[in-house]
Structure 1
Amino acid sequence: MTTGTVTAAGVRIAYEEVGDGPPLLLIHGLGYPRWGWAPVVEPLAKTFRVITFDNRGIGGSDAPPGPYDTATLAADAVAVLDAAGVRRAHVMGASLGGMIAQMVALEHAHRVDRLILACTTPGGAEAYPLPEATLTLIREAAGLPPEEATRRLTANALASRHPLEDLLARRLADPQDPTAWQAQSAASLGHDAYGRLGEITSPTLVLHGTADRVVDPRNAPLLAEHIPGARLEWLPGQGHLFFWEDPDGTVERVRRFLG
């Protein structure tokens, strides 16, 4: 494993890479640094050169004042590819990371080989909003003790409880500054690529858990229908963080799609 940093528009971005093979860039979502890919990195690194990084606002990366937007976060991702000496890579993004991955594919198309959009949404008025139960939880979390709020938000992202304690321990040991969380959240809420999905030229796989309570699963068919040639695969019974609940199934699908 190698680690490094790169400066993108004056912001330091921390990244690491492991494995040898075709490069695969993994982009995580709101509130998770690069360790959020932990269950799948080692298995994927047997086949790919896996590159992970911390979005601005979390982990080892700088947290400049927000709000952020997905185009800026996509430029950070491309800066990581530059620092790693990678001209073209497969790109996989989850949740907010999936929105960022859409912008990488739209604004930096020549850098993307194949694209995987996991548990995400195209954004905009035509997309399905966050489920009401999740919106209620977010509102209530602001008045809860930080540990309880983190536990409830983490549990909401899972359909099963078996990864909860591991995830919770990691999040509590590596908390995100609330202001930086709000800055990342602004990027998620402001994302709108719906009208541009037809411009994506990379072969695309859409993955979504049928029991996702964070991003409405009905957004997955929207993505698949509007991205030319895209394929949709469901993970039955899995929640938002399905790569924690079913890492083997996730890795199998990724390997099959990327060949």
Structure 2
Amino acid sequence: MKIAWESTGDGPPVLLIQGLGYGRWGWEPVVSGLAPRHRVLCFDNRGIGESDKPEGPYTAAQMAGDALQVLDEAGIERAHVVGASLGGMIAQELAVAAPARIDKLVLCCTTSGGPDAVPMPDVTKRLFAEAPSLAPEVALRRFVENALGTDPPEALVDDLFARRLANPPDPAGWQAQAAAGLGFQGVDGEITAPTLILAGTADNVVDHRNVEQLARSIPGARVELLQGLGHLFFWERPDEVVTLIEDFLG
């Protein structure tokens, strides 16, 4: 499997795992904040960007194997891991499958999965139902706005919209990744890595109340709620998010 990855900075390694439909470019504001003190690795998940796009559906466990491959190719025995949304599910699978490879774990805007998980908010369900009747660029901009918090700056919406236009996901790859998220029923084992859980209280994609169940499933997990921020909170207030991560990683 070809997985496209890149390394920035020097210091204790941090592996960043993106979510559905976003390539490694989706970590840009976090990379610039962490790189002065860390070696930051980010990569394109299978199904998107410059990585291979095998026939789906995928599973979060398969995609965790890809993340482990990146650590192997980078020559890194042990790293901090940060995962967002679907990337948070992948990070959980990685933490159970290869606990010796993870130092600390940061889970962003994600869920523990399973029948007790809080469902996707209705506003996003309605948007998915309406999207096929909209012009593609109109639908895309609506999805960008929906992924941000209360009253997002227009300049940020414009920036993310332009980046999404410039980096369109492969349709089959997107569907295969989506299957990994929809099929995630939680990990089969205990997560032992020290864990920080971050969520925006205005997240329209993954209900922030999922952090309660997620925290219960991970002994000693610490939760930080970001008031008024959405699913892409690390784009809305990257400096604050980097500070929280840095403080936790030590």
Within 5 A, what are the aligned runs for 1:1-259? 11-159=1-149, 160-162=151-153, 163-193=156-186, 196=189, 199-259=190-250
Give the Cα–Cα distance (whole angstroms) in 2 for the partners of residues 251 and 155 of structure 1: 22
Q: Is the 8 A contact 1:209 1:235 kept in 2?
A: yes
How far did residue 194 of structure 1 move? Answer: 6.0
Higher deviation after alignment, 132-141 or 103-112 = 132-141
Asked if the contact 2:104–2:194 (Cα under 8 Å) also holds between the matched residues in 1, the reply is: yes
CA distance in 2, matches of 1:87, 1:142: 45
Matched residues in 2 for 1:217 and 1:190: separation? Answer: 19
Q: 1:143 to 1:179 in 2, by over 3 A?
A: farther
What do the CA deviations read for 1:33-84 (whole angstroms, capped 9, x no partner)?
0000111111100111000000011111111111000000000000000000
Once the 2 structures are TM-superposed, how far is the Cα of residue 178 of structure 1 from its aligned partner? 1.5
Gaps of 5+ in 2: none
What is the alpha-carbon root mean square deviation over aligned residues?
Answer: 1.0
Q: Distance in 1 between matches of 2:21 and 2:135?
A: 17
Q: Which amino acid aligns with 1:139?
A: A
Task: Tell me the matched-pair count.
Answer: 247
Q: Does the CA contact (< 8 Å) of 1:89 and 1:114 recur in 2?
A: yes
Q: Is the 8 A contact 1:28 1:93 kept in 2?
A: yes
Deviations 1:143-195 (A, max 9, x none): 32221121111110001432111111011011012221111000000011166
Query: Aligned partners of 1:97, 1:110: CA distance in 2, in Å?
Result: 19
Runs of 4+ in 1 over 6 A off after TM superposition: none
Residue 142 of structure 1, CA deviation? 2.7
For the residue of structure 2 that corresponds to 1:12, the secondary structure is coil
Shift of 1:139: 1.9
| Identical positions, percent | 59
TM-score by length of 1: 0.93
